[in-house]
């Protein structure tokens, strides 16, 4: 007689499923074991800081000493009024008059005459200008102009161009300064120009000026400075 197996009693049925489930469980436990972290126990212990243990600095208590105010000054002593009896003679203050009587002699001190300043007086401000010969008959208000016209006329009359300056082509303006002294003579002639030859010619012209009537300040003869330019121009 042949035995028949019960299909429900087959042990190999669903074996692959169980194998897969068991393998998944084993892998899960293996992964959990690998991922688990462990920490060693530390040898250090936490210590707490006690702030109360610090020393507190004691601040000394100071007391302000108040000085008492100075005592008020004593009241002034009352003035002592002396009572003068009527019989006592009191000296009177005599005020002398500063007015002089007609009988008094008045002494007048002599005032020394102020010395006259003999410094030069400029031609533009002098009271009486020097008189060029021939300007005496001109009115006083016109004498200044007459003097200047006569000086220019004298320069044109005596002008002579230096030959050396002509050959070298030198020309320019020479400024001449001189002083009319207290006696009317021409003194202290000074020149300033572009060339010595032109300056020499200007000095020669001024040296030919005639003697003049001196200028006066406060009625006294004084020295009068005068300046004039002489132009040398080649034609």
Flag whether 193 is in a domain.
Answer: yes
DSSP string, the chain: ------GGG-TTTTHHHHHHHHHHHHHHHHHHHHH----PPPS-------GGGSPPPPPPPP-PPPPPPPPPPPPPPPPPPPPPPTTS--PPPPPPP-PPPTTSPPP-PPPPPPPPP-S---TTT-SB--B-TT-TTS-GGGHHHHHHHHHHHHHHHH----HHHHHHT--EEEEEEEEE-TTS-EEEEEEE-S-HHHHHHHHHHHHTPPP-BPPEETTEE--EEEEEEEEE---
Q: What is the pTM of this model?
A: 0.49
Flag whether 111 is in a domain.
Answer: no
Flag whether 160 is in a domain.
Answer: yes
Flag whether 215 is in a domain.
Answer: yes
Flag whether 185 is in a domain.
Answer: yes
CA distance 57 to 73: 48
Which CATH number is 222's domain given?
A: 3.30.1150
Neighbours of 178 (CB within 10 A): 20
Flag whether 161 is in a domain.
Answer: yes
CA atoms within 13 A on the CB side of 224: 26
Flag whether 24 is in a domain.
Answer: no
Flag whether 198 is in a domain.
Answer: yes
Q: What is the domain count for the chain?
A: 1
Write out the H or E segment, with its range, that includes residue 217: strand 216-217
- Inter-residue contact 122 to 107 (CB < 8 Å): no
pLDDT for res 49: 47
pLDDT for res 89: 53
- Inter-residue contact 222 to 216 (CB < 8 Å): yes
Domain span at residue 195 reads 140-232
Q: What are the pLDDT tens digits along the chain (235 aa)?
A: 555 556 565 656 677 888 888 888 888 888 888 877 665 655 545 454 455 555 556 656 666 666 777 777 777 666 555 555 555 454 554 445 455 554 444 454 554 544 556 688 999 999 999 999 999 889 988 999 999 999 999 999 999 999 999 899 999 999 999 999 999 999 999 999 999 999 999 999 999 999 999 999 988 999 999 999 999 998 7
């Amino acid at each position: 007689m042949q035995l028949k197996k019960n299909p429900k009693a087959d042990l190999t049925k669903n074996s692959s499923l169980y194998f897969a489930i068991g393998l998944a469980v084993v892998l899960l436990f293996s992964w959990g074991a690998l991922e688990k972290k462990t920490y060693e126990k530390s040898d250090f212990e936490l210590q707490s800081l006690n702030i109360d243990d610090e020393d507190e600095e004691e601040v000394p208590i100071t007391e302000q000493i108040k000085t008492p105010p100075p005592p008020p000054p004593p009241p002034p002593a009352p003035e002592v009024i002396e009572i003068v009896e009527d019989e006592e003679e009191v000296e009177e203050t005599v005020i002398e008059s500063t007015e002089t009587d007609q009988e008094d002699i008045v002494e007048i001190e002599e005032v020394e005459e102020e010395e006259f300043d003999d410094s030069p007086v400029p031609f533009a401000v002098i009271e009486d200008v020097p008189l060029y010969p021939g300007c005496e008959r001109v009115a006083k208000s016109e004498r200044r102009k007459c003097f200047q016209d006569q000086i220019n006329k004298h320069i044109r009359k005596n002008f002579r161009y230096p030959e050396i300056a002509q050959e070298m082509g030198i020309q320019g303006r020479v400024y001449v300064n001189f002083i009319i002294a207290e006696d009317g003579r021409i003194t202290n002639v000074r020149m300033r120009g572009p060339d010595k030859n032109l300056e020499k010619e200007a000095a020669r012209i001024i040296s030919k000026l005639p003697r003049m009537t001196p200028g006066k300040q406060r009625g006294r003869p004084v020295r009068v400075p005068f300046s004039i330019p002489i132009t040398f121009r080649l034609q």
